[in-house]
Amino acid sequence: MVGGVAVGGGAPCAVQSMLNRPPADVSANLAQIEQLAEAGCEIVRMAIPHRKDLDAFEQVCQASPLPVVADIHFDSEIAIGAAKRGAAKLRINPGNVGGLEKTDAIIEAAQAAGIPIRIGVNAGSLDTALATRNDICLAQKLALSAAQYLRYFEERGFYDVVVSAKAHDVPTTVATYRQLAHDLPQVPLHIGVTEAGTLFQGIIKSASGLGILLAEGIGDTLRISLTDDPVQEVRAAWTLLLALGLRRRSPEIISCPTCGRCQVDLISIAKQLEERLRDVKAPLKVAVMGCVVNGPGEAADADIGIACGAGSGALFSQGRILRKVEQSAILDALLEEIGKL
């Protein structure tokens, strides 16, 4: 359990993101958490770079509507302090917090606080002994590193663990998590493509890699990492889960790509509709079709839809024609019918 959010054990794949406001700015971090929560974020992570940031972290934890994970590197004392100050989970890389001796104290702090730990291994921070091996590939190194650390935790009687092992390229990420799922079937996995890039590239890379894994039943919580507003990470994550039929939270727009048969400004209509539906919290299917070829037939299962013709469109629901509307009234007509559902 991460706060009130279940991870693993058959629970739905949880969506998370990470704050990017200055750690000392409590108000800014809480404002961002509110935005993320509104977008559907379920777990939020906060970096704590310095010990002096622990006071602000505690205030954020106390006021946050979401469970807050403490993200710690290099200083085991920060992890211990975060556990005492309200962290819902600790995220550490045992390889850079001072070694296994320092990790023992972190385990004890988590046990005392009754919170889980994520063992987070990244390609850029493997310990030297593994990083310099030439007999195994990077994916094997990442999986082996995570497994070794997990074994160490279990030997000390600590089993409340989530594991991640990320790389910035898709093939390595997929291979690593497949290996982890095979070797550590009892452990919840946090999946993600790290440093995936800016909005367009990052979404494509994340969707391709995480889509493969989720379709294979791998992944108990995920973050889509983007060099952009974290709210975009959450929207992308939910869209991916919806596309795979795993979780539905908001409307799905079914729209054709347009062609020479289209006689309305369908692209503009679809974009406006997407914007107007952004705050709707209902798992609806809404179809916007450019002509009769892709009309009610192909979108017969839509809760509401429009099949456009020459400057007008036929409004339909579950394949049944409701009425005809002019192009200028298409958007309002769709929204009116959605409001009735």
Mean pLDDT of 250-271: 86
Mean pLDDT of 307-326: 86
pLDDT at 293: 65
More confident residue, 317 or 231: 231
> Does position 4 have pLDDT exceeding 90, yes or no?
yes
Mean pLDDT of 280-302: 79
44: Cβ contacts below 8 Å, ≥ 6 apart: 16, 17, 18, 19, 33, 36, 64, 66, 67, 68, 69
**90 vs 188: CA distance, rounded Å:** 15
pLDDT digits (tens, 9 = 90+) for 241-256: 999 999 988 889 988 8
**19 vs 318: CA distance, rounded Å:** 41
Mean pLDDT of 15-19: 98
pLDDT digits (tens, 9 = 90+) for 23-57: 999 999 999 999 999 999 999 999 999 999 999 99
The answer to whether the CB of 90 falls within 8 A of the CB of 79 is yes
* Residue-averaged pLDDT of the chain: 92
Domain range list for the chain: 14-243, 252-340
Mean pLDDT of 283-291: 88
162: Cβ contacts below 8 Å, ≥ 6 apart: 7, 8, 89, 116, 117, 118, 119, 187, 188, 189, 190, 220, 221
User: Would the CA dihedral through 195, 198, 203, 209 be positive or negative?
Assistant: negative
pLDDT at 186: 93
**276 vs 289: CA distance, rounded Å:** 18
CA gyration radius, the chain: 23
> Does position 260 have pLDDT exceeding 90, yes or no?
no
CATH 3.30.413.10 fits 252-340, yes or no: yes
pLDDT at 299: 73
Q: Residue 295 — pLDDT band, cuts 50, 70, 90?
A: low
In our burial notation (b when 16+ CB lie closer than 10 A, e otherwise), range 159-179 reads eebbbbbbbbebebbbbbbbb
Strand partners, 253: 286
Strand partners, 68: 44
| Residue where the block lists tokens 């509110």 | 34
| Joined tokens for residue 73 | 């590197």
Q: Give the range among 103-117, 258-272, 287-301 with minimum mean pLDDT.
A: 287-301
Across the beta sheet with 89-92, what order do the strands follow?
161-166, 117-122, 89-92, 68-71, 43-47, 14-18, 221-222, 190-191
> Does position 215 have pLDDT exceeding 70, yes or no?
yes
Q: Residue 337 — pLDDT band, cuts 50, 70, 90?
A: confident
CATH 2.40.50.140 fits 14-243, yes or no: no
The answer to whether the CB of 161 falls within 8 A of the CB of 135 is no
pLDDT at 296: 66
**220 vs 14: CA distance, rounded Å:** 6
234: Cβ contacts below 8 Å, ≥ 6 apart: 15, 17, 36, 39, 40, 41
> Does position 151 have pLDDT exceeding 70, yes or no?
yes
User: Would the CA dihedral through 209, 213, 216, 222 be positive or negative?
Assistant: negative
**92 in helix, strand or coil?**
strand
Judge residue 295's burial from the number of C-beta atoms within 10 Å of its C-beta, 0-12 exposed, 13-18 middle, 19 or more buried. buried
More confident residue, 226 or 276: 226
Q: Give the range among 95-104, 197-206, 287-296 with minimum mean pLDDT.
A: 287-296
CA distances from 95 to 121, 126, 128, 138, 262 (A): 8, 7, 9, 16, 58
> Does position 190 have pLDDT exceeding 90, yes or no?
yes
pLDDT digits (tens, 9 = 90+) for 70-123: 999 989 999 999 999 999 999 998 778 877 888 999 999 999 999 999 999 887
pLDDT at 294: 62
Most confident segment among 143-147, 174-178, 328-332 = 174-178
Question: What is the bridge-based pairing of β-strands 312-317 and 320-326?
Answer: antiparallel
